């Protein structure tokens, strides 16, 4: 029995990478750190803006890394164990994480801010120009 995918239509060409990305996202089950995604209205009312907010309590600015790699926004957090401290009880572990968000074409990161244990990353997508290009047809005898 063959598996049907959203991109299996013969009219959708070149979406193989998107299909693989969706499969990879479906397999990722880690829910740390928790996050919110909200839509913000742009200053002009037309530009789409988004804000991703991650709960990163206990992480300093130097422990966090925000990068864009191809069409992905990657947020990494690295904490190191403090070996000089002696714990009688340890309920808060030093933890590492990597959270990836797939960005649509044209999305760009505007800013990132760490405040009160929340890392906010603002993104926008400027209105793209509509491009119409005429393709010449060659005739061969």
Q: What are 10's two structure tokens? A: 């013969």
Q: Tens-digit pLDDT profile for the chain (141 aa)?
A: 556 666 667 777 777 776 776 666 666 666 789 999 999 876 666 667 899 999 999 899 999 999 998 888 999 999 877 778 888 888 877 789 999 998 988 889 999 999 999 999 999 987 777 788 898 999 987
**Distance in angstroms (rounded) separating the CA atoms of residues 98 and 32:** 9
CB burial string 67-94: b at 16+ within 10 A, e below: eeeeeebebebebeeeeeeeeeeeeeee
What confidence score (pLDDT) does residue 66 get?
97
pTM of this structure: 0.71
């Amino acid at each position: 029995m063959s598996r049907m995918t959203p991109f299996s239509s013969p009219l959708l060409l070149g979406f193989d990478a998107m299909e693989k990305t969706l499969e990879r996202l479906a397999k990722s089950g880690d829910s740390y750190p928790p996050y919110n995604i909200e839509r913000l209205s742009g200053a002009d009312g037309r530009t789409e803006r988004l804000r991703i907010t991650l709960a990163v309590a206990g992480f300093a600015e130097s422990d966090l890394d925000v990068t864009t790699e191809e069409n992905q926004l990657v947020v990494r957090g690295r904490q190191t164990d403090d070996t000089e401290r002696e714990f009688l009880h340890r309920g808060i572990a030093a933890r590492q994480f990597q959270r990836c968000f797939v960005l649509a074409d044209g999305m760009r990161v505007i800013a990132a801010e760490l405040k009160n244990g929340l890392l906010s990353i603002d993104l926008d997508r400027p209105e793209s120009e509509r491009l119409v290009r005429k393709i010449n047809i060659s005739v061969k005898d």
